[in-house]
A and B are shown apart, each in its own frame.
Chain A
Amino acid sequence: MRYLPLTPADRAEMLGLIGAASIDDLFSDVPAEARLSGPIAGLPMHASEMAVERHMAALAAKNLSAGAAPFFLGAGAYRHHIPASVDHLIQRGEFLTAYTPYQPEIAQGTLQVLFEFQTQVARLLGTDIANASMYDGSTACWEAIAMAGRVTGRKRAVLSGGLHPHYVASVQTMARFTGDTIDARTPKLDAAPDDAGVIAAIDGETACAVVQYPDILGRIPDLAAIAAATQAAGALLVVVVTEPVALGLLEAPGKLGADIVVGEGQSLGVGLQFGGPYLGLFGCREKFVRQMPGRLTGQTVDADGRRGFVLTLSTREQHIRREKATSNICTSSVLCALAFSIHMTLLGGEGLARLAAINHGRAQALAARLAGVPGVRLLNDAWFNEFTVLLPGDAREVVRALADRQVLGGVSLGRLYPGVPELRRGLLVTATETATDEDIETLATALGEILEGMPA
């Protein structure tokens, strides 16, 4: 077996040196009645690299990959072009096969990357500080709510109707067990988000309001107005960003009064990967640092006075504080943070602004073309690279019909909100820099034909 260096002779000799008659002697603590006598039946035996690759390639071939079709999906996971150098660099063994940097003298590479990442994320989100990553945007969202609870001493969170329904569901799962009160609402099919409804729901018991920017339907909430309301109530404003490229064009949430900003960093460097692994971004005001979840990298000096970096403030964390920790998180998403950081470094601030402008331009072109398809109505007043259109019938059926024609045409609101019939005509479409004019034309044509054939 190609991954096992010991030879049968090594094994025999080592057993002799240990003083064991057989390998079974080393498993003598396992109750005899539970010990397996040989390989588990019904499972295949070891296989060559060629055979395994063939098996996996056959499974991969059953999927329609985004690059092989006109592609317009978003809803919290975005397809952007990733420079080839990103994937090369994250596969360097010194990054790929390193452990969490607990021994900083021989982990300055990862630690410096994380320090740079924290700075990039804080600047992008407009927060004072940021941590070294969370699992993903949705789990970061719950961690932000839990942290707002610790900061304010309150246990009620108001969720805007524009928050991604998977994020809402994840929060509701946790809240059911922690006893937090979650005031969640369903989006309405209006041209702009219901900021007034969020503001009206904030009361003196509220720990935080959670607002997605841009929201799940692609609309842009007025963060400054909501921040004024949370501040007046002694609550915190948590802003969720699922498409960080938008922040190349839109004002940073931290600059608009957000106290905690969390995000899904997948757009930069990470790729679609069918939903994971992704990258949770987490930034906040500096005064909350000791309530933050997750790892933090800090600057210090070594015994010779040279600058170096270490994991710091670990008295917040589970391996020191155990049941009193700010979170149970341990392994987070450092390799994805590296990918994000490299992609961001290749872009720079100006490149990100340019990428954002291109995305916005492609989405405008898509909106203009779709608006010309009979029966299609554009919902949004404003959007970045994603918006909602209303169809004459059930959008789920339309999405499936498009897929039958090898067009990946968007995410139906029926998939996201299966129990909400009034949303079922909504289709969420996204255009990034990867969407060509030909892709847009193919979608519009196919959509027109499908709608024509649909019963009114």
Chain B
Amino acid sequence: MNAPNTSGWRPAMGPAGDAEAGLATASGDRGLMVEEPLIFELGAGNGCGVDFDQSGPEPLPLPSLSRFLRKSAPALPGLSEPDAMRHYTRLSRQNYAIDLGPFPLGSCTMKHNPRLNEKTARLPGFADIHPLQPQQTVRGAFEVIHQLAHWLITLTGMEAVAMSPKAGAHGELCGLLCIRAAHDARGSARRVVLVPESAHGTNPATAAFAGYRVESIPGTADGRVDLAALKARLGGGRDSDVAGVMITNPNTCGLFERDMRAISGAVHAAGGYVYCDGANFNAIVGKVRPGDLGIDAMHINLHKTFSTPHGGGGPGSGPVVLSAALAPFAPLPFVTRDTDGTVRLVEEEDAPADGPQTFGRMAAFHGQMGMFTRALTYILSHGADGLRQVAEDAVLNANYVLRSLDGVLDAPFGGSGPCMHEALFSDAGLPEGFSTLDIAKGLIDEGFHPMTIYFPLVVHGAMLVEPTECESRQGLDRLIASLRAVAERALAGDETLKSAPRFAPRRRLDETRAARKPVLTWQGHVQPPAAPSLSETGGG
């Protein structure tokens, strides 16, 4: 039995009306469907799941520290190890996950997370080293960074890679700061960045964060960047005020920008740089190199294409590959290989010699090492041939979904040819009163995580399905059958769909109420642990 819940909150895994139907349980749980109070509501909250070494009484705090000491221990509940294990295990069962089924979130590339990657990342030689150890003691770590960098540069056909950005949006920032530094270096004060209407929200947010004014580029009827409109806005050569453009390719409609080379050419001719949002690199890895398309900078989400686990919202990792034009401005620190084969880290001290034009440091230490080991493990497992197969299977699976739903869901660009790694649908054709949200929530009742919804913004009621290469034919058929069934319920005017999900741990949640009067921390009161007089914390 878990620690008693003293708050009065109780589980409620069954639907409302249980009691009337004679189906209520005394616990509120139902069989293996269990839920859990907050840690603040469990027992007296004065347990402890950690034993300390009994090396004798600790000395008193330094007298010079006395004016800084807290009066009592922090009011934080503690649980014994068995109670903590149950608490988090029970919570974990309220989550959908890739390990449970497909996660067809467009633009998110939720692929299988191989456990070998977890194993190698936990080798003490990687997991238990300090970022400021003398370089002579961490050569293997620099080699990991260098080997991964070599793969990323080679797969993208670029000149260099900045490894330190912490996630995709941080990588975007890195790319834009390189662009900004490149303009600064030649005395150009351009302050406009162009972003297509279909872009991820991070693109305009990043451009603004980097001090740029954001302007939108219109799209064409076939879901791509309007090259003529772009050229018109770029204006003539050296007089342009456009510092660069941010393009996603394949784009967020799941389509390859056929005119990419012409776009890059036009931007370069106008003295600007091309940033590519690499969130969708999974569609083209091993099939085409962004460097051959005129890209100057592109971040790579290691937590998408290279399978480092998403963890419920991070950590990510966002290395940025750079063209020869932008490489000199890459941030500190970076790893370099000397002619004698030694791999070393270039920090502030060596920057004047090894990176005189660097725009500086973006974060403490050297990047997401734990993600580098996982990504390198994944890449070595697949190899050059396997990564190419990844892209082919991802694209094949998406086209299979696209064509399998012909006649059921509207595919706004489905007529213009194949898609890349994600299939885009709209709410056109759904009857009055039914929405994309209903389809998504209906899919939850079917046992699937929904697709990305209401993105990209350029398509009304968008549904973006990215199955990835990790789904089998049979798995795809099951997903398609459920998608089809839910869409057909909407088409038939089945009102019960509007109250979906009915079989998940929670029904639709009141997001308006959450935002109107935010409750962001537990509002109850925890019995503060008996305040240890700090002079007595030793011994015991």
Contact = CB atoms under 8 A, between A and B. Distances in A.
B384 A45 contact: yes
Interface in B61-113: 61-62, 64-65, 68-71, 73-79, 81, 84-85, 87-89, 91-100, 103, 105, 108, 110-113
A47 B360 contact: no
Contacts of A123: 74-76, 521
Contacts of B119: 53
Interface stretch (A199-207, A229-237, A323-331): A323-331
A303 B508 contact: yes
Interface string A87-101: 101111111111111
Contacts of B89: 89, 92
A298 B519 contact: yes
Given A108-B35, A138-B364, 19 more contacts: A1-B381, A29-B420, A56-B373, A61-B125, A64-B138, A76-B365, A83-B81, A94-B95, A96-B113, A98-B97, A128-B521, A173-B360, A248-B73, A275-B367, A304-B16, A318-B202, A323-B207, A334-B314, A418-B348
A57 B371 CA distance: 16
A36 B312 contact: no
Contacts, number: 724
Interface string A167-203: 1011011001111000000000000000000000000
Contact of A166 (B292, B363, B441, B528): B363
Interface string B115-158: 01011101111111111111011111101100100010011000
B367 A276 contact: yes
Contact of A18 (B125, B376, B399): B399
Given A108-B95, A276-B366, A321 B205 contact: yes
Given A5-B470, A357-B537, A65 B400 contact: no
A329 B169 contact: yes
A220 interface: yes
B484 interface: no
B309 A335 contact: yes
B514 A328 contact: no
Interface stretch (B37-45, B320-328, B425-433, B485-493): B37-45
Contact of B361 (A166, A178, A300): A166
B417 interface: yes
Contacts of B77: 345, 348-349
Contact of A45 (B91, B138, B316, B383): B383
A94 B99 contact: yes
23 contacts: A5-B472, A17-B400, A18-B403, A47-B381, A59-B143, A60-B123, A60-B126, A61-B140, A62-B139, A93-B98, A96-B309, A105-B504, A118-B521, A220-B68, A275-B365, A277-B371, A298-B520, A318-B201, A331-B303, A331-B315, A346-B84, A350-B529, A408-B137
Interface residues of B, number: 213
B169 A350 contact: no
The CB with the most chain A CB atoms within 10 A, among B68, B310, B381, is that of B68
Interface in B277-292: 284, 286-289, 292
B396 A25 contact: no
Given A17-B400, A57-B123, A99-B312, A139 B166 contact: yes
Contacts of B403: 17-19
A361 B58 contact: yes
B118 A250 contact: no
A230 to B, nearest CB: 19
A442 interface: no
B521 A136 contact: no
B130 A272 contact: yes
B125 A59 contact: yes
Contacts of A91: 118
Contacts of A325: 201, 205, 208
Contact of A382 (B64, B124, B209, B540): B64
Contacts of A172: 360
A99 B452 CA distance: 11
Given A60-B123, A350-B48, A272 B131 contact: yes
